[in-house]
Chains A and B, each alone.
Chain A
Amino acid sequence: MTDEPQALLARLREGDAVAFEEVIRRYDGVVRGIVSRMWSGAFDREEAMQEIWLHVWTRRGGIDPARADAFGGWLATLARRRAIDLLRARGRGVETALEDGPILQVGPEQPGRLRSAEVEAAVKAFESRLRPQWQDFFRLYFVEGLDYAEISQRLGITKLRCRYMKKVLLGRARRSGALKAALGVGRETP
């Protein structure tokens, strides 16, 4: 979808769930940045993000499509307030100075950060040991995030084969000692 931000936000304001889905994708980084500083586990973060986005949906009447450039700030304020409410509702204190803290990622794109050289090296080593077709699949599925339909067209393989390759690669990755060590698997989630 290539809607201009104004048009997209206007559709969201009107209650269009398709537009909402697109807004969530585009502005994922705003909410994720706030949630990442308040929850530690991946599942907890996802739950919190869902609640925050649902809150955004209920407050969509406050969106001004003409001021699309201000949407990121509006969203960040709303998300932060909702996140604090969620923490309080769950009986957790709001430890960090969130009220005044800087928002790490404001804007539709979330930049990559905290790249771990150790992990990167382990993944490269893992990939280099794969046969050519498996390398292609690895890149298309895990790196580019394409679905089976697209990959099957590009590589000329069936979707069933795609599923099999994904399963095998995930199994190998899980057993890879270098990857496990780099990711700290078995240790507490950072």
Chain B
Amino acid sequence: MTHPRRTLEAYLEGRLSPAREARVADHLRGCEACRARYDEAVRLRRALAGDPSAPTPQERAVLARRVADRVRSGALGTGERAPLPASRPVQLAFGTAAAVALAVGLFVAFGLSASPVVGEIRTATGVTVDGRPAEPGTPVHAGERLATAAEGLAVVDLVERGTMRVFPGTRLAVGGGAEEVRLLGGEVWFRIQPGHGRFVVRTARGTAEVLGTSFVVEDRGETMEVRVLEGRVRVEDRDHLGQVRVGANQKTLIAPKGPPSPPLRYDPRDDENAWERFWRSVWQALQGAVEAVKGALGGTR
């Protein structure tokens, strides 16, 4: 990495993504000149704030946020029930009446829960939350594991964030404030509302960070693919080897021990068709079950 002169200020202010922040910190650890420059920048800001020997309020806030971020990312990597505490409390000042209704309803029903509610299941077939069968209306709390069976599907409304369509055979956990999803395997289609800050999807291979868009993340174990239907997504591999911006109708693939590929062309109809196909098969299975029950009831009369 070249000397991050321009990004030092952004690092100091805590304005970089976690991945870029990690890269700058790595560089600072090994570069005395940049550390000296960083120290000077800190001293200047402290002096402007009125006391060269005391940290600025911003400095304290950035430190607290960095530590809490490390706790959150580490907590999700434990493999147990992710304790993933909230990064911030779920706000009640939602933008839409629907969001208010959803939030109030969830808090009235589950307000005493230890972890905040981060979403509600709208559609569920073959879905479990922390091992318990889930149905439409089931709340999802921060850190709980949501899983779909091989023939299961779920649509989850994320509080203040948008929705996610969870494909069959997927496992994931949502972070507090619904700003982070840890994809542990499988495939999820996100439709994220713009204007609500950062939203990050992490897999074992890398991260995808968006501000408002529609995209699919597929964790295939050794590889990860991100496909963008609308908006833009920044994708970075776990080892910070590279970073690409993927726009609408593009995709990128992270291979084992490699950076994300340059954006490739992608036809969003593939995912739309796949979702329709899964949805139809689930619907047909449900219809079949209903018919079977009707038949059984008719036979007993």
CB A46 to nearest CB in B, in angstroms, measures 6
Residue B88 at the A interface, CB < 8 A? yes
Chain B residues near A47: list those with CB within 8 A.
Answer: 25, 29
Question: Cβ of A16 and Cβ of B85 under 8 Å apart?
Answer: yes
Residue A42 at the B interface, CB < 8 A? yes
Question: Cβ of B53 and Cβ of A174 under 8 Å apart?
Answer: no
| A17-B71 CB under 8 A given contacts A25-B61, A114-B52, A170-B9 | yes
| A115-B68 CB under 8 A given contacts A17-B176, A18-B88, A46-B63 | no
The distance in angstroms between the C-alpha atoms of A28 and B52, with both chains bound, is 16
Chain A residues near B50: list those with CB within 8 A.
Answer: 112, 120, 123, 143
Chain B residues near A17: list those with CB within 8 A.
Answer: 68, 71-72, 75, 84-87, 176
Question: Cβ of B87 and Cβ of A24 under 8 Å apart?
Answer: no
Question: Cβ of B67 and Cβ of A112 under 8 Å apart?
Answer: no
CB A149 to nearest CB in B, in angstroms, measures 11
| A110-B55 CB under 8 A given contacts A17-B71, A183-B47 | yes
The distance in angstroms between the C-alpha atoms of A57 and B52, with both chains bound, is 29
Residue B35 at the A interface, CB < 8 A? yes
Question: Cβ of B35 and Cβ of A24 under 8 Å apart?
Answer: no
Q: Is the interface of B mostly helix, strand, loop or mixed?
A: helix
Question: Cβ of B40 and Cβ of A185 under 8 Å apart?
Answer: yes
The distance in angstroms between the C-alpha atoms of A90 and B261, with both chains bound, is 37
Which single residue of chain A is at the shortest CB-CB distance from B43?
A: A183
Question: Cβ of A53 and Cβ of B89 under 8 Å apart?
Answer: no
The distance in angstroms between the C-alpha atoms of A28 and B70, with both chains bound, is 17
| A183-B52 CB under 8 A given contacts A42-B38, A173-B44 | yes
Question: A87-123: which have CB < 8 Å to B?
Answer: 110, 112-116, 119-120, 122-123
Question: Cβ of A54 and Cβ of B70 under 8 Å apart?
Answer: yes
Which single residue of chain A is at the shortest CB-CB distance from B116?
A: A18
Residue A41 at the B interface, CB < 8 A? yes
Interface centre among B35, B40, B48, B66 (most CB of A within 10 A): B48
Q: Give the number of residue pairs across the A-B interface with Cβ within 8 Å.
A: 134
Instruction: Map CB proximity to B onto A13-52 as digits: 1 under 8 Å, 0 otherwise.
Output: 0111111111011001000100000000111101101100
CB A111 to nearest CB in B, in angstroms, measures 8
Contact of A110 among B29, B38, B54 (CB under 8 A): B54
Chain A residues near B83: list those with CB within 8 A.
Answer: 15
Question: Cβ of B39 and Cβ of A41 under 8 Å apart?
Answer: yes
Instruction: Map CB proximity to B onto A174-186 as digits: 1 under 8 Å, 0 otherwise.
Output: 1000010011010
Chain B residues near A44: list those with CB within 8 A.
Answer: 35
Chain B residues near A113: list those with CB within 8 A.
Answer: 51, 53-54
Question: Cβ of A24 and Cβ of B64 under 8 Å apart?
Answer: yes
Which single residue of chain B is at the shortest CB-CB distance from A113?
A: B53
Question: Cβ of B85 and Cβ of A15 under 8 Å apart?
Answer: yes
The distance in angstroms between the C-alpha atoms of A173 and B49, with both chains bound, is 12
The distance in angstroms between the C-alpha atoms of A137 and B50, with both chains bound, is 15
Question: Cβ of B39 and Cβ of A43 under 8 Å apart?
Answer: yes
| A28-B63 CB under 8 A given contacts A18-B85, A43-B28 | yes
Chain B residues near A22: list those with CB within 8 A.
Answer: 64
The distance in angstroms between the C-alpha atoms of A179 and B43, with both chains bound, is 11
The distance in angstroms between the C-alpha atoms of A17 and B116, with both chains bound, is 12
Residue B98 at the A interface, CB < 8 A? no
Question: A44-102: which have CB < 8 Å to B?
Answer: 44, 46-47, 49-50, 53-54, 57
Which single residue of chain B is at the shortest CB-CB distance from A176?
A: B44
Which single residue of chain B is at the shortest CB-CB distance from A114?
A: B53
**Would you list 20 pairs from A and B whose C-beta atoms are within 8 A, ordered by A residue?**
A19-B85, A20-B68, A21-B65, A24-B60, A42-B39, A43-B28, A43-B38, A43-B39, A49-B63, A49-B67, A50-B67, A54-B71, A57-B67, A114-B52, A123-B47, A142-B45, A143-B50, A145-B57, A173-B48, A189-B43
Please give me the 3 A-B residue pairs with the lowest Cβ-Cβ distance, nearest first. A145-B57, A17-B85, A24-B64
Q: A17-B71, A17-B84, A183-B47 are in contact. List 17 more A-B contacts (CB 8 A).
A: A14-B114, A17-B87, A18-B176, A20-B85, A21-B65, A28-B60, A28-B64, A41-B38, A41-B39, A42-B42, A43-B28, A46-B63, A54-B70, A110-B54, A122-B47, A142-B49, A182-B47
Q: Which B residues lie at the A interface, using CB under 8 A?
A: 9, 25, 28-29, 35-36, 38-40, 42-45, 47-58, 60-61, 63-68, 70-72, 75, 83-89, 114, 176
